[in-house]
Structure 1
Amino acid sequence: MKKYDEILIGSGPAAYEMSNLLAQTDHKILVIEGFEYGGTCPNYGCEPKIFLEGAARTVLQSQQLLGHGVSQPAKLDWSALMQTKLDRFDPWPAETREIIKKTHDVEDGYAHFVDDHTVSVNGHQYQAEHIIIATGQTPNILDIPGKEHLHTSYDLLSLKNLPKRITVIGAGFVGLELVTLVAAAGAEVTVIMHSDRALREFTKAEDQALVTAMQQRGIKFLFNADTQKVEQAADGLNVVTDQGTVSTDYVLDATGRHPNIEQLGLENTSIAHDRHGITVDGHLMTTVAGVYAIGDVVSRRQPKLTPVAEFEGQYLFNYLMGKNDQEIVYPTIGQAAFTFPEVARVGVSADAVADDSQYQVKTIPLKYGSLYAGQNDQVSTLTLVFKDQRLVGASEIGDYAADDINNFLPVIGLEIDGAEYKQKLIAIYPTLGDKVAGLLK
């Protein structure tokens, strides 16, 4: 049986961060990957999504400016866009594998725990001083009749030809971002939602404004609907719900993601886990000494985002190398949905403290500013939450919400008050960054 200093199970952002850091040591490392090297983000997630969003945003902004200085809006060529995307991203898994292989051993296959401290892959068994589970999450597939007709975000993000009618089940981050993309390319889109709210991470007002903006572009929403089955029809597919049937050509299951642990053989170990992922302590160690978990596979309340996964990879490296013995403390984390308009947030939610007199909430329409008016952005609204005169939360809906909220991340995370901000910074005029000082009174 071969032994290593560290075994990394997975090669996504969390594991890749650790892999690069461990490459600077004399440790002997094994990286095991049964999916795509690099994980979801660079192959089927945030990287290709934001790449495609650039073209979709241009099209939608040009449509928004029709009659306001633009006479002919842009049109998105899906086939050309997708081919450009494939040319860029298809080589990434092989390239990532080669980068890892330069400094570490690799095994292509799914790791399976034989016992608490032994993993098996491809008929080989391995042990290590530290085993790090970083297998991330995988898309849900509804267990309904006709589920063989359901597609995941992985499928859609490699779809060379755009179907005329697309039905999306689910209205979370992934669902609404992909709805934005395919609708911008000309597909007729219907969203089936199990509840009456889409992105519950944001305020109710922001949620309603986003759905309304999407409806005005022709996207249909079916609220409080239970999807019962998918049937083959003469001219496509029928999605049957308790509120009627939706005729379509393609069905995207965007009902969420779950921890990718089914093939790990955790039943052979004492590693505790729940439906949110693997249970860890303040040092990211599982209930088995020497076995750790990082990234989206971890059961935690912090958002499951690539930067958070990388932060955990950096933390665990420092902890295992003896550079830090403190429990992990997460920084201020920003969050955004790259829909159109975008929604973004950080810190305390205005809705959560609406009835708490300790907090003061400011809501500022941004449409009167020259930048937003020039884009005919009539939706942009910024919400700020203060406690004891200090900013503790910010959220926005608008064309530039993600960038705008990034202006407030250091203010909240570094606990900067308005006077200190004005003394030390003069932002570029006339963007929102210039206005931040005026808002922090």
Structure 2
Amino acid sequence: MKKYDEILIGSGPAAYKMSNLLAKTTHQVLVIEGFEFGGTCPNYGCEPKIFLEGAARTVLQSQQLLGKGISQPAKLDWQTLMQTKLERFNSWPDETRAIIKKSHDVEAGYAHFIDDKTVSVNGRQYQADHIIIATGQTPNILDIPGKEYLHTNYDLLSLKELPARVAVIGAGFVGLELATLVAAAGADVTMIVHSDRVLRGFTRGEDKALVDAMQKRGIKFVFNANTQKISQCKKELTVTTDQGDIKTDYILNAIGRHPNIEKLALDNTNIKYDRHGIKVDDHMMTSVEGVYAIGDVVSRKQPKLTPVAEFEGQYLFNYLTGKTTQQIAYPTIGQAAFTFPEVAKAGVNPDDVANDPQYRVKRIPLKYGSLYAGQNDQISTLTLVFKDQQLVGASEIGDYAADDINNFIPIIGLQIDSNEYRQKVMAIYPTLGDKVAGALL
């Protein structure tokens, strides 16, 4: 049985970060991957999504400016766009594997635990001083009659022919972003939402404004709907809900994700886990000494995002190599849905403190600024939350909400007060950054 210094189970952002850092050491490392090397983000998630969003945004902004200086809006060519996407991304798993293999041993297959200290893959058993679980998450699939007709983001992001009608079950980040994409390409889209709202982590006002904007573009929403079954008649699919039937040609299952632990055989170990993932302490160690977990597979309150996974990979490398003995401390984390308009946030949610006298909530419509008016962006609204004159939260809905909120994350995270900001920062005019100083008053 071969023994390593580290075994990395998974090769997504968290593990890939550690892999690259460990490559600069003399450690003997084994990387095990049962899915695509690189994980979901670069292959079926954030990277291809933002690549495709560039074309969709251009189309939607041109539509928004129709009659305001644009006489002919852009049209999205789905087949050409997807071919361009596939040419860029199809080689990434092999390239990622090759990069890892330059420095580490590699096993392509699913790992499972034999006991607390031993993992098996492809019939071979391995041990290590440190075993790091970084298997991420995988899509939830509705367990209903006709579930074989459901598709996930993995399927849609490689779909060469765009269906005329698309039904999206679920209205979280994935569902809303992909609905925005296919609708911009010309598909007739219906969103089937289990509850009465979308994106619960944002404010109700931002949720409503986003839904209103999507509805104005022809995207339909069915709220408080429970999907009961799916049936097919010839080439047409029917989604049966307790709110009625929806006829469609393609169904995107976007009801969330769960920790990818089924194949790990954790019941052969003393590793504790719950429905949110593997439980870890403040040093990312599981309930078994020497076994760690990082990335989206971890049960934690912080959002499951690529930068958070990479942060944990950096932290654990530092901890295991003696560069730190401190507990992990997460920074201020920004989060955005790349819909149109976008919604983005960081820090305290304004809705959570609306009735708390310790906080002051300030809402600033941005449509009067020349930059936003020139884009005919009538929705953009920035919301700031202050406590004792210190900015503690920011959120926005607007065409460039993600970039806008990035201006405020350092102020929240570094606890910079308004006077200090104005003395040390003069942003480019006339962007939102130039307005930050005034917004902090």
Shorter chain as denominator, the TM-score bin is over 0.9
Displacement of 1:234: 2.8
Displacement of 1:235: 4.0
Aligned residue runs from structure 1 range 29-40, under 5 A = 29-40=29-40
Aligned residue runs from structure 1 range 4-153, under 5 A = 4-153=4-153
Aligned residue runs from structure 1 range 252-271, under 5 A = 252-271=252-271
**Structure 1 equivalent of residue 361 of structure 2:** 361
1:437 is the counterpart of 2:437 = yes
Displacement of 1:295: 0.1
Q: Which amino acid aligns with 2:380?
A: S
What does the per-residue CA deviation read over 1:23-75, in whole Å, with 9 as the maximum and x for residues that have no partner? 00000000000000000000000000000000000000000000000000000
Q: Which amino acid aligns with 1:176?
A: L
Distance in 1 (CA, whole Å) between partners of 2:432 and 2:171 is: 29
**Structure 2 equivalent of residue 226 of structure 1:** 226
Displacement of 1:430: 0.4
What does the per-residue CA deviation read over 1:149-189, in whole Å, with 9 as the maximum and x for residues that have no partner? 00000000000000000000000000000000000000000
Aligned residue runs from structure 1 range 230-309, under 5 A = 230-309=230-309
Q: Which amino acid aligns with 1:131?
A: I
Distance in 2 (CA, whole Å) between partners of 1:258 and 1:233 is: 32
Distance in 2 (CA, whole Å) between partners of 1:15 and 1:199 is: 28
Q: Which amino acid aligns with 1:193?
A: V
Distance in 1 (CA, whole Å) between partners of 2:374 and 2:169 is: 35
Distance in 2 (CA, whole Å) between partners of 1:416 and 1:326 is: 24
Partner SS state of residue 329, structure 1: coil
Q: Which amino acid aligns with 1:283?
A: H
**Structure 1 equivalent of residue 343 of structure 2:** 343
**Structure 1 equivalent of residue 371 of structure 2:** 371
Displacement of 1:103: 0.3
**Structure 2 equivalent of residue 385 of structure 1:** 385
**Structure 1 equivalent of residue 192 of structure 2:** 192
Q: Which amino acid aligns with 1:404?
A: D
Partner SS state of residue 198, structure 1: coil
Distance in 1 (CA, whole Å) between partners of 2:242 and 2:77 is: 35
Displacement of 1:356: 0.2
Distance in 1 (CA, whole Å) between partners of 2:436 and 2:118 is: 53
Query: How many residues align structurally?
Result: 441
What does the per-residue CA deviation read over 1:186-220, in whole Å, with 9 as the maximum and x for residues that have no partner? 00000000001101111000000000000000000
Distance in 1 (CA, whole Å) between partners of 2:310 and 2:233 is: 45
Partner SS state of residue 263, structure 2: coil
Distance in 2 (CA, whole Å) between partners of 1:61 and 1:343 is: 16
Displacement of 1:304: 0.2
Distance in 1 (CA, whole Å) between partners of 2:23 and 2:130 is: 15
1:179 is the counterpart of 2:175 = no
Please identify runs of 4+ aligned residues in structure 1 that moved more than 2 A.
none
Distance in 2 (CA, whole Å) between partners of 1:326 and 1:105 is: 30
Partner SS state of residue 317, structure 2: helix
Distance in 1 (CA, whole Å) between partners of 2:416 and 2:323 is: 28
Aligned residue runs from structure 1 range 309-328, under 5 A = 309-328=309-328
Distance in 1 (CA, whole Å) between partners of 2:293 and 2:219 is: 40
Distance in 2 (CA, whole Å) between partners of 1:221 and 1:439 is: 34
Q: Which amino acid aligns with 1:411?
A: I
* TM-score (normalizing by structure 1): 1.00
Distance in 1 (CA, whole Å) between partners of 2:240 and 2:76 is: 31
Distance in 2 (CA, whole Å) between partners of 1:242 and 1:224 is: 9
Displacement of 1:233: 1.6
Partner SS state of residue 263, structure 1: helix
Partner SS state of residue 264, structure 2: coil
* TM-score (normalizing by structure 2): 1.00
**Structure 2 equivalent of residue 168 of structure 1:** 168
Partner SS state of residue 5, structure 1: strand
Displacement of 1:421: 0.5
Identical-residue share of aligned pairs (%): 79
**Structure 1 equivalent of residue 332 of structure 2:** 332
Q: Which amino acid aligns with 1:38?
A: G
Distance in 1 (CA, whole Å) between partners of 2:276 and 2:63 is: 40
Distance in 2 (CA, whole Å) between partners of 1:289 and 1:236 is: 54
Distance in 2 (CA, whole Å) between partners of 1:372 and 1:357 is: 32
Distance in 2 (CA, whole Å) between partners of 1:326 and 1:421 is: 30
Distance in 1 (CA, whole Å) between partners of 2:49 and 2:82 is: 11
1:212 is the counterpart of 2:212 = yes
Partner SS state of residue 228, structure 2: strand
**Structure 2 equivalent of residue 424 of structure 1:** 424
Distance in 2 (CA, whole Å) between partners of 1:3 and 1:236 is: 54
